[in-house]
């Protein structure tokens, strides 16, 4: 299972750090993707980090504002979100893909992921 944490209410321009921790399995061999779903919209891929940390992907809408990294010793991946905008408001999900690879221009599609978290709400509002 995957458990997300770190969501909440933040003002525009603020920051949040989301965490994604695996239980009952090790994340070492999994790429980790972050997705988000806003009300009435499709779930979209936001960012991804390869199992070896040598590949990362960012959607154009978050490039330069979000950073993804992982700490395998803690069995956790993170999404640092800075300069948040109201458009970033959504439920954020993390997912793990065995031996998945992330590239600068692509991330594995939703169907490739083996585990999903329950989601954490991020609300950007003044």
CB 2 within 8 A of CB 99: no
According to the model, what pLDDT value does residue 54 have?
Answer: 84
CB 16 within 8 A of CB 82: no
- Give dist(CA 27, CA 49) in Å, integer: 11
According to the model, what pLDDT value does residue 44 have?
Answer: 96
60-77 confidence digits (pLDDT tens):
999 999 999 999 999 999
- Give dist(CA 22, CA 24) in Å, integer: 7
In the chain the beta strands, taken as DSSP E runs, fall at 2-5, 8-10, 16-22, 30-37, 44-49, 56-58, 66-71, 76-81, 90-98, 115-116, 120-124
């Amino acid at each position: 299972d995957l458990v997300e944490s770190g969501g909440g209410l933040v003002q525009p321009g603020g920051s949040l750090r989301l965490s994604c921790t695996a239980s009952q399995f090790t994340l070492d061999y999994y790429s980790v993707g972050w997705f988000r779903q806003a009300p009435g919209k499709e779930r979209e891929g936001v960012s991804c980090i390869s199992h070896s940390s040598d590949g990362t992907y960012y959607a154009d809408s978050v490039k330069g504002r979000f950073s993804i990294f992982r700490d395998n010793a803690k069995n956790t991946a993170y999404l640092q979100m800075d300069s948040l905008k109201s458009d970033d408001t959504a439920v954020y999900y993390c997912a793990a893909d065995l031996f998945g690879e992330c590239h600068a221009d692509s991330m594995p599609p939703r169907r490739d992921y083996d585990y999903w978290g329950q989601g954490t709400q991020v609300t950007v509002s003044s």
